[in-house]
Structure 1
Amino acid sequence: MVSRMKNRIQSQHQVASFSWILSRLRHVMAWLALSACALIPVMAQAAQVEATVSKNIVAVNEVFQLTIAIDSNVNPNSLDLSALGENFTYGRPSVSSNNAYSNGTLSSSTQWRIAIAAKAVGTATIPSFRIGATTSEPISIKVLKSANVATSSEPNIKLSSSLDKQTLYVGESARLTVRILIAEQLDQAALVAPEAKGIDIVQQGEDKQAERLLNGRRYIEITRQYQLTPFESGDIVLKGAQFKTSVVKGSRGFGSTLSVPFDKKTDDITLTVKPKPSNFQGLWLPTADLQLDQTWNPSSTTARVGDPITRTLTLRIKDVAQSSMPNLNIDYPSSVRVYSEKPVYGQQNGYTSMMIKQVIIPREVGELRLPPLTINWWNTSSNQQQTTHVDGLTLDVKEGDLSNNVQLPILNEPASQPTANTANAVEVQMVKDAGFWPWLTAIVTSLWLLTTGFWLKERHKKRPQLSSQQQAQQAPHSAPSTNGQVLSHLLAAVQANQPIQVQSYYQQWQHCDYQADYIERVAAEVNTMMEAHYSARSHTWDNQALLALLGQANKHLLQSVAQEALAPLTPSQSKKNPSSAKGQ
């Protein structure tokens, strides 16, 4: 009985112990559950996105810093900044990631730093940014005018313009100078030209760049000039030149730069344009100064047929556009050929210059009067019509002379070329230029000399048998020698592409005994050559056609010389039949 009671007591004690263990387990599980619930807010807080700014009161276009951070190591491309574009200009972000292990705990973070600037006055809001499942809080920014904050936010760029005259005549030009002083780092800068109705505006030359020190600050100075030429009278408003660029900004520690747009214009200018006076006669040419000069080469008052005379005219006009320069038309007599080079233009010290070279070739013997040149223009300084004049030239033209041909000038060649032994120089130039014509000329000359020598030798042997009448008939045989010399020089000049020499030798060669239609064809080719070199529409000239024509004359000359040289060697009819002569 007692043992049974002991067993019952032990059983009850075991049950109580098991119940206590179960109770303790319930308490542990409840504590673990509560601990897990308590950790959830901590983990969520660690992944929060935070946005901060370096200042929240700024000026328009003033650059400040926006920083966005998250306590987690995430992809740098997971942040979308496009929402900033509505109210702000922003640059490329600088991204940094950090991992740290401290007191047995590993922590990570990712940070974006962006340079931004507000676009307009008022209140601008930096929107919230979402990274993963978390977002940042929006930030309100107060934007003021630049005058209400430090002036350092204004780009250090100065723009100005100046006009040399504001009152001018129709067709008269004025010069506008635009200057830009820059002490900033710029990106994609452009200067838009001024504009106005009734005025032609043309940029003059290239931009000039220099360094300038102003109030202890170093600037880059850019200068550009425009030529303004009004074609309508009245008061005309000239809208200023416009400078457009982007200023690269971003202070130390930003880790990001920003391109802030910059757009500024120079002041508008009103021009007073006077019309052409009603009593003015002739070509309208308004200017403050006009200069006309000329030179003659050679300057002698005597010349020969075929000799070239070069007339150089130089016209300088102040404050006139190149398109307004007049055409210098001179009426030369029909007894000369005139070839004009293309005008050469230039700009210097506010003057537009035009230089024209004219090659004048006399064609007839006698007195030659080359006309003067007169230009009427309007003096804008004295407000009256004025005339500028250069004299002509009177020449005594004589027959052409072969001995003078070696002194022919070569146009557009250096003046330092030697004048002595010019004929030898032409021969060297012809040999240097490989072709069959130098060889043909050498062969013709050799054959001519050979046959002439052979003929003279036979003539000397037969002199006692010749009558005085036969000797008189042989006297003119020296003419082909002169023709051969002229033709040889003419071929060399054509081969060397020397138009002035070709013209001179042609004037002498054309008087030789050739058919009229052949001379006309050669004359047409010579005229084509001269126009190709000296007309206003000059072009490349091919000398092969003229060389082929002159080759025919060379061949004819060779045959003529050979026949005349061999003629005395041919027995006469009387010697062929001596019996019949005796019979007679």
Structure 2
Amino acid sequence: MIINSMFNNYQYSSLCQHWLKGLFLSWLFAFSTPSFAAQAVATVSKNIVGVNEVFQLTINVDDNVNTNALDLSNLDVHFNYGTPSVSSGTSFVNGVVTRQTEWKIAVAAKEVGEFTIPSFRLGASQTDPIKMTVLKSANKSASSPSKPEIKIDAESNKDQLYVGESFRYTVRIRIGEQMSQAALQAPSGDGLNVRQIGEDRQVETVLNGRRYLIITRDYQITANNAGDILLRGAKFTGNLIKGNRGFGSTLQIPFEQQADDLSLSVLAKPADYKGLWLPTEALELEQQWQPDVQEMEVGEPISRTITLRIKNAEQSSLPNLNLQYPNSVRVYNENPVYGSDNEFTSMTIKQVIIPRQAGEISLPALSINWWNTATSKQETSNIDGLTLSVLPGDPNSQAFLPPQVLQPENAVPTDNNVQTEIIRDSGWWPWLSLCLAILWLTTLILLFIEKYKRKQQPRNLISAQVKQPLSPVEGMIQALDQDQPIQLQSYFQQWLKHSPNHPQHDELHKAIQNVMQCAYSKDKSQKKETIKRDALLIMQELNKTTIRDVNAKSSALEPITPQ
């Protein structure tokens, strides 16, 4: 009642009311957010023990919980146990908060038999039960030690293949012991080329209360000789750490375990096979044209991207894709790009094709013969060629030129309304001329001052006021600076249409060819920078000449001739 009276007597502003509503909603959301159950895991230091032999029971919860929340009374029937050692902590890494609580308990079995450590409930979480084997005594257990909790398995996707064919060999190691100097030796065999694929994959898991580390590694194996070959399995070696580390008494025991051997049947290349020998289960050949057109003009570029994907193949076994193009086009090849994805090895090449003359031009197709090891048959993969209708181009096209360049070179402005008057009597004219001269001098002085002020302003403010299209020469300079050879070639063709007889034509054409050859060649030495610098000097000098010519034409006045 008192609170209601306070709210009725006090007039809150609308802003205060909104603030109170937001505070109430935040409070309500905080208390209504559901809490997620933490994960609890129980592990033991060993599963096979003797009567009264002490082993360690560890229970982990990924949250901060009450240290008295663990109830161990379920162990009273078959086990003795000591006071738990409890630790808890919170860490903040990369914006993620991690909490953990851990109990360590010393446990010993009371009698011989097969027993189960029951599950423990901690809040909403519950651990899994653990099966234990209890022998008559610890001494008997030590005289007949159990097999180390280490297992190595290997699998392959085939045991019959052809010469030159590759297959995948996967090794998995499950480690449930403490080890040092662990190493994995690759599989081997006469006439086999073995290569590791990618990095090792590691994951931790808990099986029957024991914590295991599982390591997976992949190999690619290629057969070089025909016949029956024995593939010796991968071998895992290292030292087992035994003893009570709490008292400083540890012992390292050498350990090694080898995966099962595998018998391979390697078939020879068929006698009637024709072409480059490519044995594989799958081969894919694709291409893409950009732009996808069938009609273009001389000097316009078109790119061709070819992708070859072969399953379980070595990069060194991929063929060279050589295409014979007609002399009517100029071709620039980029370096191949290699990759791997889902057991496929890929190679991608890109070609830039520029027609040099008008007419019908046929770009070649491509065919690859390969041997399908799944069906034991020869197959051929193809990609089509392309027929281009190349036009000579429109020499009068001036779409990319600025307006001042659109004028003919011999254009002279005319004014047919100019009249000449002969003055026979000076009269007041000299005085007027003197006044005009003074005004003219004053104007020149003001213009000089204004020009000086403008020079102090940033150039980008002046250029931002008027934005005009790039001229072909300016476009070539920009394309060269941004390392875009296709745009450089396009702007050069525009300049060539309007200046076919320019005195610097041959010099600029040679510089453009050097830049294009350097851009699409395999040689990426420092010579490239020298070629670009020489071409840039030519273009800058050409640009200065063009600007002087345009300014002269736009500012010239027609001479006044008295009649």
Shift of 1:559: 5.2
In the alignment, residue 328 of structure 1 is paired with which amino acid?
A: L
Shift of 1:538: 4.5
Quick one: which of 545, 548, 556 aligns to 2:537? 548
Shift of 1:258: 2.8
Where in structure 2 are the equivalents of 1:19-418 lying within 5 Å? 149-152=143-146, 154-251=147-244, 254-400=247-393
In the alignment, residue 460 of structure 1 is paired with which amino acid?
A: D
Q: Is the 8 A contact 1:157 1:180 kept in 2?
A: yes
Q: Is the 8 A contact 1:484 1:557 kept in 2?
A: no
Q: Is the 8 A contact 1:319 1:350 kept in 2?
A: yes
State the secondary structure of the residue aligned to 1:187.
Answer: strand
Q: Where in structure 2 are there 5+ consecutive unaligned residues?
A: 1-139, 421-468
Measured in 2, the distance between the counterparts of 1:185 and 1:528 equals 64
In the alignment, residue 528 of structure 1 is paired with which amino acid?
A: N
2:500 paired with 1:488: no
Measured in 2, the distance between the counterparts of 1:273 and 1:302 equals 51
Shift of 1:380: 1.1
1:353-394 per-position Cα deviation (integer Å, ceiling 9, x unaligned)? 222222222222222211111111111122121111111111
Partner in structure 2 of residue 557 of structure 1: 546
Q: Is the 8 A contact 1:176 1:225 kept in 2?
A: yes
State the secondary structure of the residue aligned to 1:527.
Answer: helix
In the alignment, residue 269 of structure 2 is paired with which amino acid?
A: K
Measured in 2, the distance between the counterparts of 1:164 and 1:241 equals 16
Measured in 1, the distance between the counterparts of 2:366 and 2:174 equals 48
In the alignment, residue 228 of structure 2 is paired with which amino acid?
A: D
Give the stretch that moved more between structures: 393-402 or 368-377: 393-402
2:515 paired with 1:529: yes
Shift of 1:270: 2.5
Measured in 1, the distance between the counterparts of 2:523 and 2:241 equals 52
Partner in structure 2 of residue 505 of structure 1: 491
Measured at CA, do residues 456 and 288 of structure 1 come closer, stay the same or move farther in structure 2, by a change above 3 Å? same
Measured at CA, do residues 147 and 321 of structure 1 come closer, stay the same or move farther in structure 2, by a change above 3 Å? farther
Relative to total residues, which structure has the larger helix share, 1 or 2? 1
Q: Is the 8 A contact 1:452 1:565 kept in 2?
A: no
In the alignment, residue 542 of structure 2 is paired with which amino acid?
A: A
Partner in structure 2 of residue 460 of structure 1: 415
Partner in structure 2 of residue 83 of structure 1: none
Measured at CA, do residues 492 and 530 of structure 1 come closer, stay the same or move farther in structure 2, by a change above 3 Å? same
1:450-472 per-position Cα deviation (integer Å, ceiling 9, x unaligned)? x999x866x3269899xxxxxxx
Shift of 1:188: 2.5
In the alignment, residue 151 of structure 1 is paired with which amino acid?
A: P
Measured at CA, do residues 399 and 160 of structure 1 come closer, stay the same or move farther in structure 2, by a change above 3 Å? same
Q: Is the 8 A contact 1:400 1:508 kept in 2?
A: no
Q: Is the 8 A contact 1:312 1:357 kept in 2?
A: yes
In the alignment, residue 325 of structure 1 is paired with which amino acid?
A: L
1:321-350 per-position Cα deviation (integer Å, ceiling 9, x unaligned)? 111111111111222222222222222222
User: TM-score by structure 1 length?
Assistant: 0.56
Give the stretch that moved more between structures: 311-320 or 522-531: 522-531
Measured in 2, the distance between the counterparts of 1:160 and 1:564 equals 85
Shift of 1:218: 3.1
Q: Is the 8 A contact 1:533 1:539 kept in 2?
A: no
Measured in 1, the distance between the counterparts of 2:397 and 2:247 equals 85
1:490-530 per-position Cα deviation (integer Å, ceiling 9, x unaligned)? 222222222110011223324524567x5444334323333
In the alignment, residue 370 of structure 1 is paired with which amino acid?
A: L
State the secondary structure of the residue aligned to 1:337.
Answer: strand
In the alignment, residue 531 of structure 1 is paired with which amino acid?
A: Q
1:399-438 per-position Cα deviation (integer Å, ceiling 9, x unaligned)? 34699999xxxxxxxxxxxxxxxx89xxxxxxxxxxxxxx
Measured in 2, the distance between the counterparts of 1:324 and 1:367 equals 36
Measured in 2, the distance between the counterparts of 1:193 and 1:173 equals 16
Q: Is the 8 A contact 1:376 1:386 kept in 2?
A: yes
Shift of 1:259: 2.7
In the alignment, residue 389 of structure 2 is paired with which amino acid?
A: D
Measured in 1, the distance between the counterparts of 2:168 and 2:470 equals 62
In the alignment, residue 332 of structure 2 is paired with which amino acid?
A: Y
Shift of 1:304: 2.0
Alignment length (residue pairs): 370
Measured in 2, the distance between the counterparts of 1:342 and 1:405 equals 36
Measured in 2, the distance between the counterparts of 1:554 and 1:266 equals 73
Shift of 1:293: 1.4
Measured at CA, do residues 493 and 171 of structure 1 come closer, stay the same or move farther in structure 2, by a change above 3 Å? same
Measured at CA, do residues 177 and 463 of structure 1 come closer, stay the same or move farther in structure 2, by a change above 3 Å? farther
Q: Is the 8 A contact 1:405 1:505 kept in 2?
A: no
Measured in 2, the distance between the counterparts of 1:569 and 1:404 equals 29
Shift of 1:397: 1.6
Measured in 1, the distance between the counterparts of 2:554 and 2:355 equals 37
Shift of 1:193: 1.4
Measured in 2, the distance between the counterparts of 1:333 and 1:319 equals 35
In the alignment, residue 382 of structure 2 is paired with which amino acid?
A: H
Measured at CA, do residues 514 and 484 of structure 1 come closer, stay the same or move farther in structure 2, by a change above 3 Å? farther
Measured at CA, do residues 253 and 371 of structure 1 come closer, stay the same or move farther in structure 2, by a change above 3 Å? closer
Measured in 1, the distance between the counterparts of 2:523 and 2:191 equals 32
In the alignment, residue 486 of structure 1 is paired with which amino acid?
A: P
Measured in 2, the distance between the counterparts of 1:325 and 1:405 equals 47
Partner in structure 2 of residue 40 of structure 1: none
State the secondary structure of the residue aligned to 2:244.
Answer: coil
Q: Highest Rg: 1 or 2? A: 1
1:2-37 per-position Cα deviation (integer Å, ceiling 9, x unaligned)? xxxxxxxxxxxxxxxxxxxxxxxxxxxxxxxxxxxx
Measured in 2, the distance between the counterparts of 1:314 and 1:276 equals 26
Shift of 1:191: 1.3
In the alignment, residue 538 of structure 2 is paired with which amino acid?
A: L
State the secondary structure of the residue aligned to 1:507.
Answer: helix
Measured at CA, do residues 513 and 368 of structure 1 come closer, stay the same or move farther in structure 2, by a change above 3 Å? closer
State the secondary structure of the residue aligned to 2:319.
Answer: coil
In the alignment, residue 222 of structure 1 is paired with which amino acid?
A: I
Shift of 1:238: 2.1
State the superposition RMSD in angstroms.
Answer: 3.7
Shift of 1:565: 6.9
Shift of 1:487: 1.9
Measured in 1, the distance between the counterparts of 2:556 and 2:273 equals 77
